[in-house]
Structure 1
Amino acid sequence: MPGGRLTAQERQQIALGLADDLAYAEIARRLDRPTSTVTREVMRHGGPGAYRADLAHRSAQQAAHRRRPAATARNARVSRAAGRGTGQDDAALRAYEETFTTLLMQSGLPRMSAGVLTLLYVADSGSLTAAELVERLEVSPASVSKAVALLENLGLIRRERVEGRRERYAADGDAWYQSMVAAARSNAQLAQAAREGVGVLGRETPAGARLENMARFMDFVGESITRAAEQARELLHTPPAPAADGEEAPGA
């Protein structure tokens, strides 16, 4: 019977088994693992209704990372190459990167794209080359290329041409504004669809009244999101305020 930590492939099999409504014992039998291992794994990572193999594996990697010694000299060298200040606590920064990447994954981004976007945001320069991303993430150039393509399609990053044919990828702060506007547009479409349902079912019917209320709610939320996004857009491009007298700037 195999031992040791669960692999990414095993966690994927657990997720598939849960989707097929298999009992823990049956999933464990297929993996040749103890039933208790599968039970602990599922309950530790959200339960049968919320278990996600990629997030569970990343969480396990984070826990293992915290048990390792502090970051090596190689990581410090790569951090400098990626445009981060040498005064930063590299171990704390790596832990923060793991946390931020996991949150981006929970919002729907694939693991690699979430990792790329995280690195672009924590780099002082706000941009990195493909080679720097490959070295920092310790993955293949093809993996970075695929992740970058997705982020570009979503409007979350942009390409910058530098030094001839070299390119850098930069985080686009305005993407968060565009995301809010897109959410408001989606709400408006839902409101319109609900009103069409009211026309079909009749406003006096219970179903029609339900859809009418939904449309009013979506209209209100969409208008609120748009108004707030417009008012706050400049915050995405505002430089940090100087530290007050007697205070240290963040990261100092």
Structure 2
Amino acid sequence: MTPWRLDIHDELGSTSDLCLERAQAGEAAGLAVLARRQLRGRGSRGRDWQDPGGNLAFSVLLRPEGEGAWPAGLWPFIASLAFYDALAPWIPDPDCMRLKWPNDVLLDGRKAAGILIESGGDPGGRWVVIGFGANLRVAPPIPGRDLACVAEHGPPPAPDVVAQGICDGLDRWMAICAGAGFAPIRQAWLDRAHPLGTRLVVRGESGQVEGSFEGLDAQGLLLLRCADGTRRISAGEILLLDRGATAPPAGGGIAAAT
């Protein structure tokens, strides 16, 4: 079990930035930083993460070693499973909450939560900082983005309760991965993901491709069935087409991470 140490701030620039600073200063694994309001949150692909207050801005510092030193590509799945399980008690209809590759949490097909993972090393060994951002009380209004929040489904949980649930989930899924490898992680992620056959668009540096979700390969790469066959996707922005909406424009401000 990780020796978690919860550090709560009323206001903070970025929970992940604080974890990164502590990691580079030699902080031990188990630091967990929660901000009741975050001023300079960071999302994926350099986007800003807007925090109106009352939502989740939370980051953790881990130092994987020994059996926990699995490939970096497994962390998005471990983290997203912990996140999903921490939010699930406040979503009465489990069918409305799904995971989107590799680590977004959707409510009714709209993004409600996401993760940003950063890693590095120092003389003390490797470190991983995982930032968790969730719209608990309100979805910030972002032009061109259709976001969801937990409060649409009932009274939202307090951020510190979700943070503790994430820590418990990380311990659980890290132990499963250490004991049995990626296979049970992969299956648990697929059980919580949008259905096979879901139409997707993948945006990357060289353009975009459309196809249907065919699952994950043994390394966690996205399998996308396209007109010219099945492709293995290692990176890109994934957009769902089966909600009856067109793909939104690229831009900043999604509720992604901290």
Structure holding more strand per residue: 2
Q: TM-score, normalised by structure 2?
A: 0.24
Q: TM-score, normalised by structure 1?
A: 0.24
Relative contact order higher in (CA < 8 Å, ≥ 6 apart): 2
Which is higher, the Rg of structure 1 or of structure 2? 1
Structure holding more helix per residue: 1
